[in-house]
Amino acid sequence: MNTAHRSRRLAATLLAAALAGTGLTVAAAPAAHAAASEAVAKLPVTSYSALAVDSAHQRVYIADSNMGSYSNPGQIAVYNFQGERITTISTTQHISGLALNADGSTLYVGGREVIWRYDTSTYTSNGLYVSTDTCGRSLAFSGGQVYYTTPYSYYTSQCDTTLTYLDAYAPATNTVARTDWQDFGKLQLEAGPGDRMLMGQPLNSAAADPFLTVYDAGGGGSLVRGAARRFADADGTGALNLKDMAFSADGSKVAVADASAGTRLLNTGDLSDAAEGYRALPAGAVASAVAFGGDGKYIARGASATGSTPDLLVQPADPADATAPLEFAFEGSLDGDRVAPRGLEWAADGSRLFAVTTNAAGNQYWLHIIQPPAVQYDTRFTGGLTHSPAQAAAGEPLAVRGKLEQDGPAPAEPLKVRATRTDASGTHDLGTFTVKDDGTFTVLDEPGLVGEATYKVSYLGDLTHRPADDITTTVSVGKAPTSIALTAPEEGSLKTGVEITGTFTAQGKALPERAVLKVTRTDRLGTGTLSSVTVGADGTFTINDLPRTRGDADYTVSWPGDDLHSASSATATVYVRR
């Protein structure tokens, strides 16, 4: 799955020229074509609460909540779709949730005691005083109304478990109302198509089995609750650890960033598990955010991970599409270290992904603007597969070679193919192998069994290239050869005897124990079996014999072979004197 990996040091040639001089941190990719372009802006905030994207006016709003004190001011950083900061909106008290109305003309901002309404063309505001919030609101615009949560606790240390109400503001009548829905913790809201809205409960000590529920907000101000689900089993394990949630573009699915379970994909109608889910996040990555592209093509899955483990995967929204994701590993002071919870949003047309990242301490933030490619190019295997050596042997290196052709510009990073071997013991994943600039690749393996081995090579595609049809070849794997070499004197005697030395060599897999060689002597009196000899660790052995008669004596040393190694033998003739 690492076919389209992007380190933050390999970003955004396509935007570099346009962003020159804007004060953004932009690195240029070293190749002629990038699978996606990216701009990075260091945000002027030390905390983060919400991200809102206005596709109608191409504006991005990022809220610095600045919670913790009644007198703390708040601010909203405003950027355009190219990553340039347009302005900063300052507020007298802390802020939290953000929501835009349907046409993007009004930005609703959750304040401590007010819902601000900002005209997005002038950034002028008027405020509507509402219930006091000391813990941070979540906002969503659905069904023509603004829904907002109202948590209250005298002590901010108790915010995670405080009782939170779901309230509503109707712009048409300029009135507020309590919906009578409430529960414990910092309840989160997310709007979706068709006047749907999600409400999810983060895991907290007052909610050991948190819920997720769908509402129909199209009833003219009256919320109708639809499907609801709690996730813990009878033993209390498997509870939801909610970090983010999102509707698919058509509203039929819900994706949930669950810090315990990864990315859950659910059916909106009843919140049951979808028939096919997404592959697990990379090992060590903990889900923190999720967002579907507005055009329905892609899903972005954000995570908290360390080192080179990807923090962000951008992949087809259809879980049955095996196209490899575009992967981002955020590392250090130019990029942040992880995707912030609820830190992903798309432009309505799917042309841009906006990702907020943070450092390990959670006191610095960055805005990444990522443009997935608009088109994909075809790929194909050509010329079949060949292998060498011509006779494969169990336990011996085998090279399977082929060629992958791809249309379009040269990729920013080499394409990779994945290979499997199927033999009598099943199918074995051999890993990924790099495609060279000329399209050739080599799959390296050591088949472990005698018999037929079928090699399948796949190219799963990436966001720039479509998958190729698989290609296979069947190889006949034989036993690994063995050999015996003898060093014997030309003459021996009946009195002093005969000493023969030798070397036993076995290719392929190491023998489970040292080989025991059979020794026979043939002279004019007939053939007899001598004592067997065990080969030393270095492959050598020695035979000592007292011949029984004068004349030629033929000494034959043999090994019968095993399941993976062929038999071998050697003969030496010694003339025996008196």
Residue type, 75: Q
How many whole angstroms separate alpha carbon 131 and alpha carbon 111?
A: 10
For the segment 154-179, what is each residue's pLDDT rounded down to a tens digit?
888 899 999 999 999 999 888 899 99
Residue of 495 and 67 predicted with greater confidence: 495
pLDDT at 21: 29
How many whole angstroms separate alpha carbon 309 and alpha carbon 102?
A: 37
* Alpha carbon separation from 542 to 66, 481, 488, 504, 552 (Å, rounded): 84, 22, 10, 11, 20
pLDDT at 221: 66
- Tell me how many degrees the CA angle 392-397-399 measures, rounded to the nearest 5: 75
pLDDT at 152: 87
pLDDT band at 13 (very low <50, low <70, confident <90, very high): very low
Sign of CA dihedral 63, 80, 308, 461: positive
Q: Name the percent of the chain lying above pLDDT 70.
A: 93
Residue of 93 and 558 predicted with greater confidence: 558
What pTM does this model have?
0.69
- Closest by CA to 459, choosing from 446, 468, 450, 451, is 468
CB neighbours (10 Å) of residue 577?
12
pLDDT at 8: 35
Average pLDDT over residues 428-438: 95
Q: Name the token pair of 508.
A: 């392929």
501 pLDDT more than 50: yes
For the segment 24-61, what is each residue's pLDDT rounded down to a tens digit?
333 322 222 234 567 899 999 999 999 999 999 999 99
> Taking a C-beta distance cutoff of 8 angstroms, is the pair 559, 515 a contact?
yes
Sheet holding 125-129, edge to edge: 95-100, 106-111, 114-119, 125-129
pLDDT at 18: 29
Q: Name the token pair of 106.
A: 């009004």
For the segment 372-415, what is each residue's pLDDT rounded down to a tens digit?
876 678 899 999 999 999 999 999 999 999 999 999 888 878 99
SS3 16: helix
Range with top average pLDDT, 172-181, 213-222, 543-552? 543-552
Q: Name the token pair of 101.
A: 């109305």
pLDDT band at 5 (very low <50, low <70, confident <90, very high): very low
For the segment 121-154, what is each residue's pLDDT rounded down to a tens digit?
999 988 888 888 888 899 999 999 999 999 988 8
> Taking a C-beta distance cutoff of 8 angstroms, is the pair 311, 328 a contact?
yes
For the segment 60-106, what is each residue's pLDDT rounded down to a tens digit?
999 998 876 777 888 999 999 999 999 999 988 889 999 999 999 99
Average pLDDT over residues 318-333: 86
pLDDT at 451: 96
Q: Name the token pair of 359.
A: 């450092």
Residue of 518 and 155 predicted with greater confidence: 518
Domains contained in the chain, CATH given? 4-371 (2.130.10.10), 379-478 (2.60.40.2470), 482-577 (2.60.40.2470)
